[in-house]
């Protein structure tokens, strides 16, 4: 499951202020879903368990499993009313495979996939641990190819505004560095 494009989930990751901002903005997006208030029997969070996983369990009122397979190659198992893939697809060699696997697992008329990923940035700003960074158009094309319809989407920044004033590269990030987040349903 490990490759050079996979982020190490450790104490430094948990304490990064950008992740805390991203988790808060993600919860704000989830609260806008028509699913808010509905209860599911179980959910799946793709990737390793993070503090966001516990927040997802509280929000959706159900336990969330975390995936432990190679999302590029191996099948997923189970049946879930809600699946999350926050900051996952950009680390995969084959995000289409992962989306097709998720589609197969979603069960019920209200089943949803929530996902986020960074918007494309120029090479000088790209993250070394991201195999893919997609434009909005590329992401929409990928979702369509996998058989998903976009119900809602948003973009947000993950850094404190003063960060962008600390140098030339941070100033460029003010323009380019955004997270795109989606609520998807099977078509």
Per residue in 32-78, pLDDT (tens digit) is 999 887 888 999 999 889 889 999 999 999 999 999 899 999 999 99
Q: What is the CATH number of the domain that holds 135?
A: 3.40.50.150
Residue 87 within any structural domain of the chain: yes
Of 9-18, 46-55, 178-187, least confident by mean pLDDT is: 9-18
Residue 23 has pLDDT above 60, yes or no: yes
H runs (alpha helix) in 50-167: 51-60, 95-105, 136-146
In a domain, 6, yes or no: no
Residue 2 lies in a domain: no
Q: Does residue 160 form part of some domain? A: yes
In a domain, 28, yes or no: yes
With cut-offs at 50, 70 and 90, classify the pLDDT of residue 86.
Answer: very high
DSSP character at residue 112: E
- Can you give the pLDDT at residue 11? 75
> What are phi and psi for residue 148, nearest 5 degrees?
-110, 150
Beta strands in the chain (DSSP E): 43-45, 64-66, 82-86, 112-118, 148-156, 179-186
Which one is predicted more confidently, 11 or 53? Answer: 53
Whole-prediction pTM: 0.86
pLDDT at 1 over 70: no
Q: Residue 132 belongs to what domain range? A: 11-186
Distance, CA of 95 to CA of 26 (rounded, Å): 20
* Total number of domains constituting the chain: 1
Query: In whole angstroms, what is the distance from residue 116 CA to residue 58 CA?
Result: 19
With respect to residue 3, please indicate whether it lies within any of the assigned structural domains: no
The rounded mean pLDDT for the chain is 89
pLDDT band at 6 (very low <50, low <70, confident <90, very high): low
Report CA torsion sign: 162, 166, 88, 138: positive
Flag whether 107 is in a domain.
yes
Mean pLDDT value of segment 172-179: 79
pLDDT digits (tens, 9 = 90+) for 122-167: 777 777 787 889 999 999 999 999 999 999 999 998 877 887 778 8
Establish if 5 belongs to a structural domain.
no
pLDDT at 101: 98
Cβ atoms within 10 A of the Cβ of 4, count? 8
Which secondary-structure segment (H or E) carries 168? helix 168-176
């Amino acid at each position: 499951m490990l490759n050079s494009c996979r982020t190490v989930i450790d104490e430094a990751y948990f304490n990064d202020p950008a992740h805390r901002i991203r988790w808060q903005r993600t919860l704000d997006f989830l609260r806008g879903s028509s699913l808010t208030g509905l209860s599911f029997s179980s959910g799946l969070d793709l990737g390793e368990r993070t503090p966001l996983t516990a927040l997802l369990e509280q929000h959706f009122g159900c336990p969330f499993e975390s995936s432990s397979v190679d999302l590029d190659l191996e099948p997923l198992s189970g049946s879930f009313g809600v699946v999350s893939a926050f900051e996952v697809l950009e680390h995969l060699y084959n995000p289409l495979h992962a989306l097709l696997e998720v589609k197969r697992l979603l069960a019920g008329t209200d089943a949803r996939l929530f996902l986020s990923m960074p918007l494309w940035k120029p090479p000088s700003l790209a993250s070394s641990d991201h195999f893919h960074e997609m434009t909005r158009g590329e992401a929409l094309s990928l979702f369509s190819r996998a058989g998903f319809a976009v119900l809602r989407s948003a973009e947000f920044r993950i850094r404190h505004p003063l960060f962008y004033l600390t140098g030339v590269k941070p100033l460029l990030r003010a323009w380019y560095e955004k997270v795109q987040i989606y609520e998807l349903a099977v078509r």
